[in-house]
């Protein structure tokens, strides 16, 4: 394979070497360039030998000297320099299979790409990874690799992922571990399927492999599960039982290894109606993106931010913060912390019922613009409506139901303020008042 050059940065090493837009990069230092990982890894050296093919299929060799880690200056049509690899599984718990029809096309794409695991922290299943990719990860020591394990029982993994090769690919975990690659793992736990004794087996196997961290999250079920595998949601009792398993094995890991390794998702505690653990439980908060410790982190971070600020009774305005039903009790508590410092700010905290997805979906990140409009239309929202930015796509302009931020502002007559999951942004958004 080879990659076509989309553009060349003016004044760069590539530009000075006479490389042109539309030519093809074949290799760097005799190493074939297939995608972004090859390109980034092999361009690091100071002295480079590039093979480039022009549009007439003429190949020439270019010698180049540059600073270590300095960019060559080539640009490509896509970030990956290749097509994104899609998932080959049909997991019984797949959330994408539970989406309603008619949403934007990108939401239905299931990625399972080892390059995205390294570059952006995406989880991969290892079921469509090639031997070439395995060898390359080990050769380049690409680390960490994030793996959706779900179970280490080969037969059960095949069943859960509807892929007859899913059990066999578990062998790659050991190859990575033996090569010193850091492994972060994820388990989507399904009641009666891979919890209980099966969960104990999986966590034991992962501990023996020496994985860095494992996030265990409960299966999410929407109301759009027609003709899908009959799964049941967690309830107070089963969520509590799963927490007990994870905490017990995590406590044992702390004693043996000095770190917890296994972490239950925040949603387990909400379902079990148990108090969220202290920030110390989550160590370095390495699994925040998986919904592990988000509530503890935000609560603690807000506390630190408030300590930096002086009490101010002159601030007198009203804001509304909207969140999912699950986190609502904790968000009320966090808002009370802010109110203690700024008693004349009226904070209206609203739990938004997820009518769009239905089922047991109650997390803030899946709240839609339509539900916000429907449930807040008659409220006095004050100067601004604060939401978590996780409700929006990367560009911060659209909700999952394709309702735009402009739509919400127009329909509700209020300034919409998306904030990241940190204390500084949240406190600043509350005390700022009207723009």
pLDDT tens by residue, 243-299: 999 999 999 999 999 999 999 999 999 999 999 999 999 999 988 888 899 999 999
Rounded Cα–Cα distance for residues 133 and 128 (Å): 10
Q: Indicate whether 349 belongs to any domain.
A: yes
User: 3-state SS of the chain?
Assistant: CCEECCEECCCCHHHHCCCCCCCEEEEECCEECCCHHHHHHHCCCCEEEEEEECCCCCEEEEEEECCCCCCCCEECCCCCCCCCCECCCCCCCCCHHHCCCCCCHHHHCCECCHHHHHHHCCCECCCCCCHHHHHHHHHHCCCCEEEECCCCCHHHHHHHHCCCCCCHHHHHHHHHHHCCCCEEEEEEECCCCCCCHHHHHHHHHHHHHCCCEEEEEECCCCCCCCCCCCCCCCCHHHHHHHHHHHHHHHHHHHHHHCCCCEEECHHHHHHHCCCCCCHHHHCCCCCHHHCCCHHHHHHHHHHHHHHHCCCCCCCCCEEEEEEECCCHHHHHHHHHHHHHHCCCCEEEEEEECCCCCCCCCCCHHHCCHHHHHHHHCCCCCCCEEEEEHHHECCCCCEECCCCEHHHHHHHHCCEEEEECCCHHHHHHHHHHCCC
Query: 240 pLDDT exceeds 70?
Result: yes
Could you read off the pLDDT of 168-215 as tens digits, one per residue? 999 999 999 999 999 999 999 999 999 999 999 999 999 999 999 999
pLDDT tens by residue, 3-18: 889 999 999 999 999 9
The proportion of the chain whose per-residue pLDDT surpasses 70, expressed as a percent, equals 97
pLDDT of residue 2: 74
Over residues 409-419, mean pLDDT: 96
pLDDT tens per residue across span 134-155: 998 898 898 999 999 999 999 9
Q: Are residues 302 and 275 in the same domain?
A: no
Among 259, 292, 325, residue at a domain's last position? 292
Give residue-wise pLDDT tens across range 42-79. Answer: 888 899 999 999 999 999 999 999 988 899 999 888 76
Sheet arrangement for strand 384-388? 346-352, 318-324, 384-388, 415-419
Q: Are residues 340 and 415 in the same domain?
A: yes
Q: Say whether both 341 and 206 belong to one domain.
A: no
CATH number reported for the structural domain that contains residue 31 in this entry: 2.30.42.10
Backbone angles phi, psi at 150, to 5 degrees: 70, -45
Instruction: Please name which of 292, 297, 290 lies closest in space to residue 250, comparing C-alpha atoms.
Output: 292
Q: According to the model, what pLDDT value does residue 113 have?
A: 66
Cβ neighbour number for residue 130 with a 10 Å cutoff: 10
Last residue of a domain, one of 244, 261, 292: 292
Do 52 and 9 lie in one domain? The reply is yes
Across 118-129, b (16+ Cβ under 10 Å) vs e yields: beeebbbbbbbb
Tell me the pLDDT band of 300, cut-offs 50, 70 and 90. very high
CB neighbour class for 362 (10 Å; exposed up to 12, middle 13-18, buried from 19): buried
- Domain-terminating residue out of 75, 107, 137: 75
Please check whether residue 85 lies inside any domain of the structure: no
Are 414 and 346 part of one and the same domain?
yes
Report the pLDDT value the prediction gives residue 118, as an integer from 0 to 100.
65
Q: Are 422 and 388 in the same domain? A: yes
Residue at 391 is within a domain:
yes
Maximum distance among all Cα pairs of the chain, rounded to whole angstroms: 74
* 387 neighbors 365 (Cβ within 8 angstroms): no
Do 266 and 385 reside in the same domain of the chain?
Answer: no
Which pLDDT score, from 0 to 100, does residue 226 have?
Answer: 86
| φ/ψ of residue 334, rounded to 5 | -65, -40
Q: What is the pLDDT of residue 132?
A: 87
| Confidence band, pLDDT 50/70/90 cuts, at residue 87 | confident
Q: How far is the C-alpha of 248 from the C-alpha of 191, rounded, in Å?
A: 19
CB 325 within 8 A of CB 354: yes
Residue 414 lies in a domain: yes
* Residues 406 and 266 grouped into a single domain: no
Q: Determine the Cα angle at 160 with ends 155 and 162, to 5°.
A: 90
**End-to-end CA gap in the chain:** 53
Q: Are residues 143 and 267 in the same domain?
A: yes
> Is residue 81 in a domain?
no
87 located within any domain: no
309 and 208 within one domain: no
For residue 22, the enclosing domain spans: 3-75
pLDDT one-digit tens code per residue, 94-128: 988 998 888 888 777 777 766 766 666 788 899 98
Domain-embedded: residue 80: no
Question: Rounded distance, CA 274 to CA 264, Å?
Answer: 12
Taking the C-alpha atoms of residue 9 and residue 393, their distance in angstroms, rounded to an integer, is: 29
Number of domains in the chain: 3
Model confidence pLDDT, tens digit, residues 360-377: 899 999 999 999 999 999
Q: Based on the domain organization, do 336 and 284 belong to the same domain?
A: no
The CATH number of the domain holding residue 203 is 3.80.30.10
CB 231 within 8 A of CB 199: no
Identify whether residues 128 and 168 lie together within a single domain.
Answer: yes
- Residue 288 in domain: yes
Condensed to tens digits (0 to 9), the pLDDT of residues 326-339 reads: 999 999 999 999 99
Average per-residue pLDDT for the chain:
92
The CATH code of the domain that includes 376 is 3.40.50
Q: What span, in angstroms and rounded, lies between the C-alpha atoms of 62 and 56?
A: 17
């Amino acid at each position: 394979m080879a990659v076509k050059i989309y553009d060349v940065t003016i004044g760069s090493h590539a530009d000075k070497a006479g490389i042109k837009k539309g030519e093809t990069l074949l290799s760097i230092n005799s190493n074939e360039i297939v995608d972004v990982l090859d390109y980034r890894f092999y361009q690091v050296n100071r002295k480079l030998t590039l093979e480039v093919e022009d549009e007439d299929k003429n190949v020439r060799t270019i010698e180049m000297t540059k600073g270590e880690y300095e960019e060559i200056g080539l640009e490509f049509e896509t970030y990956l320099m290749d097509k994104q690899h899609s998932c080959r599984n049909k997991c019984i718990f797949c959330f994408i299979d539970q989406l309603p029809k008619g949403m934007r096309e990108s939401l239905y794409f299931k990625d399972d790409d080892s390059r995205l695991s390294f570059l952006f922290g995406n989880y991969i299943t290892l079921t469509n990874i090639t031997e070439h990719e395995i060898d390359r990860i080990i050769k380049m020591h690409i680390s960490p690799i994030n793996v959706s394990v779900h179970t280490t029982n080969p037969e059960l993994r095949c069943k859960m992922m509807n892929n007859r090769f899913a059990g066999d690919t578990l062998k790659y975990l050991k190859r990575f571990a033996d090569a010193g690659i850091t492994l972060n793992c994820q388990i989507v736990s399904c009641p009666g399927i891979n919890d209980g004794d099966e969960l104990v087996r999986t966590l034991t196997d992962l501990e023996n492999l020496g994985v860095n961290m494992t996030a265990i999250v409960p299966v999410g079920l929407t109301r759009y599960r027609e003709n899908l595998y009959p799964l049941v949601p967690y309830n107070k009792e089963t969520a509590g039982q799963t927490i007990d398993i994870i905490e017990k094995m995590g406590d044992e890991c702390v004693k043996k290894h000095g770190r917890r390794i296994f972490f239950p998702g925040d949603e387990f505690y909400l379902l079990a109606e148990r108090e969220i653990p202290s920030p110390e439980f989550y160590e370095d908060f390495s699994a925040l993106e998986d919904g592990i410790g988000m509530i503890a982190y935000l609560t603690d971070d807000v506390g630190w931010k408030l300590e930096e600020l002086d009490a101010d009774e002159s601030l007198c305005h009203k804001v509304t913060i909207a969140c999912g039903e699950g986190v609502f009790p904790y968000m009320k508590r966090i808002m009370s912390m802010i109110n203690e410092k700024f008693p004349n700010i009226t904070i209206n905290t609203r739990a938004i019922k997820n009518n769009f997805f239905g089922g047991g979906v109650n997390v803030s990140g899946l709240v839609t613009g339509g539900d916000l409009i429907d449930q807040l239309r008659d409220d006095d929202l004050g100067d601004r409506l604060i939401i978590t930015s996780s409700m929006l796509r990367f560009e911060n302009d659209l909700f999952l139901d394709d309702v735009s931020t402009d739509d919400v502002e127009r329909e509700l007559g209020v300034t919409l303020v998306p904030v990241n999951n940190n204390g500084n942004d949240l406190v600043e958004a509350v005390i700022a008042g009207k723009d």
